Structure 1
């Protein structure tokens, strides 16, 4: 078939025939072994529509070679069946199966779109999203807890729990397991003191002790820390704009530090967003009362209690803010609970009940 022949969109493919022809980009693939080893894939077309594709072990090498990650390819002569399983990488009703009859050929299309479909924190928290569909989510990491090793099905597995925050001040709990825990542990050791943006693709919405929690869905999920894609850059800019209004903190050390970080994100160590919010509140208090400086001159590091949601219009917001203190020796015994990038220790525990993926 000619490479110029028309293609179908993924939303249009249905089980009644095998002569479909689509142009797709491979977004992610992983091996799975449930009753036989298979290669699972997530493909996207030019509109951002996605489909879950699969092939048996006998076709793995051919598919991996023919459908490299991030490249566009034509795929034709495949079967389509009803999507099954408790958790699905896409919200399409159908799943593609690649067999020996399937033809994969190159495409000249150049499109670097990552086809992110970032879920709204409000929709997640309010339970508006179907928990059986995997989602994309991005946020700033804070309130990082100690990495733990727990027993799951008689095997030791690492997990880390933290909270993710969006640009509107909403936050929710996140729990990552296995290799994703090791990824975060390594990143924190190399980037201590810096803000960390976390992107989780194909994440699972779950419930733990009655609360919403984001977690990874086995190897179907992808985790990237401080990603460089445009969507992540835009998120960082919105985060700074939302939490550091120029009119409030233009002359404050915290603002200067974060403004510098916005220009050179990777090389500047700055305080966490929670600590910056404290600086904002102090400046507001000083502006409304006698100018008493609580911020050490020339310092851009503050410590404060956890700030889950910042409401600048709240009458109680100023009263609820913990006063920052400078990093002097006489304060070494006071805990710093806000930074997401402090060096973490690892505990081994054996709880009576553990949460599995």
Structure 2
């Protein structure tokens, strides 16, 4: 994977630093994702993680560095960039699409309405369960979930 800039307040440093050794897979819950800013950018990643008071870091059961999902924008695929790490294939069949989840993400300054879509698909190897988050999927699909489904959740 790629390196990403992460930060936390000095008061949380002792609690968090020992839980995130370099090169070790971890599950991280309750954190914020922001733009890294222009003045100090230790990586060229487009986002920055901010560990907050409620951040929980636990060991990950996933330990295989060759198995990860990295989202690629649609223009890269259209340009035909050959990369063995980019999977370009049609999924055989949509099995089930649940209603778009409606949730509110609270921030200190504002509350933002966000959407998620749970998709169950089946291909030649079996079934897979996917969850598309509108603020991540926009990098792959240039429309948000509500606009993509045109307000109707029974079409797909």
Which TM-score tier does this pair reach, normalised by the shorter chain?
0.3 to 0.5
More helix by share: 1
Q: TM-score, normalised by structure 1?
A: 0.17
Q: TM-score, normalised by structure 2?
A: 0.37
More strand by share: 2
Bigger Rg, which one? 1
